[in-house]
Amino acid sequence: MYLSGSKWNLRKKRRRSNPWRIILLVILIAIMVFFWQTYVPAAQPLFIPTPTPTRSAASYVLEGENLFKAGNLEAAEAAYLQAIAADPREIAHYIELARVRVFAGEYTEAENAARDALVIDSDSALAHAMLGWALDFKASQTADRLERETLLAEALTEAERALDLNPNAPEVRAVYAEVLIDNNINAYEEALENARAAVALENSSLMAHRALAYVWERTGNPQLALESYQAARSLNPNLPSLHIDVGNMLRVLSDIDGAKESYLKAITLAPTDTLPLTLLVQLYANVGEYAVASQYAQQAVALDPSNPRLHGNLGRMYYHNGLYEEAAAQFELAIRGGTLAEGDFVQGLPLNNGDDSRVLEFYYTYGLTLAKLGVCDDAVDIFRSILQAAPEDEIAVFNAEEGLVLCGELERTPTPDGATETDS
């Protein structure tokens, strides 16, 4: 119903559709759909940073190799860790990381890397060899006799497993030779055979020449050991440990200047390592230059103030220089421990049943120091502890008895042949 003549007509009038307008509208819609599908997804959103290309694991490996050749072991280790992060399933990364860590003196960390490699492939000869090598070095730094023997036995098991898996790998032969002779010095012929085989398999193998040198050293052939260590060093002249090895052989051969030069080179390559400094202390002490030895001992303590052995070494040098009060203070830290003024804590060294000759030397030299200072109550306790802990160590017993004589607790007895106070 509607009102006639009213302008308020509630029924709309229908208009005829224009087909050209419909066609144009369809074309416009198609163009818009094409635009959104083609161009919009490729456009970068505003304020989103451009992604950085990811480095390949191979590039990190190459970097690690170059850093190792340059003697920068800490940076080489970091590069191999990055290679592992980029490709955690590649066993070679873990093996190389273990090798770098052994040369850096990080034996527990090297062991961990080798074990990680064996998780990936339990039949990898190189992984077993690296594990045995790391355990062998770890044993050499262990004072406890039982623990050391356990580590050596496990190292030999790993080295034998590696040899069974791949006897033609020079690294496997080299490791087996070193581990074997450390387990049984009487097996030197077999060790020498394997070390020579390693060199024959790959004359450019640093590990092979180093193993041959080590076997010569262990069998009491310092000249041949020196030549093989020098061959290894020529393959990488930037590794501090090889300069130390060469220095040790020159020292045995009484080439004091040559040994000093090698140790100083090791310090240049590894300025935070206390080992070459400690070897210089021993070198100068052996020739009676205790003042110079004290300077190097002080440098070592400054680098690692929480190390009780370094305090003991410094105490020995002070003692031989006649600085008894200074010596007593250093021995107190080495043996009883304590906290330094700078806040560093020193853990004292126990006697360990006389198993560690250097610790024994700290004890009897500390006792002699106290005796010369007139503090005989404490000195006598130390001397008696030594006699109880190491009754078969002639040098320790001789010095303990000398101390008891100084303190009036014992009458002097004839000196045993060859039993003198050591300066080394």
Contact 240, 71 (CB under 8 A): yes
Apex CA 136: angle with CA 132 and CA 139, to 5°? 135
Compute φ and ψ for 282, nearest 5 degrees. -65, -40
Orientation of helix 170-183 relative to helix 188-201, angle to 10°: 160
Contact 201, 211 (CB under 8 A): no
Tell whether 388 is covered by a domain.
no
Q: What confidence score (pLDDT) does residue 353 get?
A: 61
Residue 171, both tokens: 């690294």
In whole angstroms, how far apart are CA 46 and each of 35, 43, 50, 231?
19, 9, 11, 61
Tell whether 283 is covered by a domain.
no
Contact 338, 332 (CB under 8 A): yes
Tell whether 119 is covered by a domain.
yes
Residues 6+ away with beta carbon under 8 Å from 65? 76, 96
Segments forming the whole domain that contains residue 140: 57-166
| CA atoms within 13 Å, Cβ hemisphere of 400 | 24
Integer-rounded Cα radius of gyration of the chain: 36
| CA atoms within 13 Å, Cβ hemisphere of 57 | 14
Tell whether 99 is covered by a domain.
yes
44, burial (CB in 10 Å: exposed 0-12, middle 13-18, buried 19+): exposed
CA distance 29 to 22: 11
CA distance 151 to 182: 11
Contact 362, 369 (CB under 8 A): no
355, burial (CB in 10 Å: exposed 0-12, middle 13-18, buried 19+): middle
Q: What confidence score (pLDDT) does residue 145 get?
A: 87
CA distance 211 to 225: 10
Q: What confidence score (pLDDT) does residue 411 get?
A: 79
pTM of the entire predicted model: 0.83
- Given CA atoms 97, 100, 104, 107 in this order, what sign does their dihedral have? positive
Residue 295, both tokens: 């300077």
Tell whether 150 is covered by a domain.
yes
Of the candidates 268, 217, 272, the one whose C-alpha atom is nearest the C-alpha of residue 243 is: 268
Residue-level pLDDT, tens digit, the chain, 424 residues:
333 333 323 333 344 445 656 666 556 666 665 555 554 444 444 444 545 557 899 999 999 999 999 999 999 999 999 999 999 999 999 999 999 999 999 999 999 999 999 999 999 999 999 999 999 999 999 988 899 999 999 999 999 999 999 999 999 999 999 999 999 999 999 999 999 999 999 999 999 999 999 999 999 999 999 999 999 999 999 999 999 999 999 999 999 999 999 999 999 999 999 999 999 999 999 999 999 999 999 999 999 999 999 999 999 999 999 999 999 999 999 999 999 999 999 999 999 766 788 999 999 999 999 999 999 999 999 999 999 999 999 999 999 999 999 999 887 766 555 444 444 4
Q: Tally the domains of the chain.
A: 1
Tell whether 107 is covered by a domain.
yes
In three-state secondary structure terms, 407 is coil
Tell whether 162 is covered by a domain.
yes
Q: Give Cα 230 distance to the centre of its chain.
A: 22
Tell whether 193 is covered by a domain.
no
Contact 83, 61 (CB under 8 A): yes
Domain harbouring 137, CATH code: 1.25.40.10
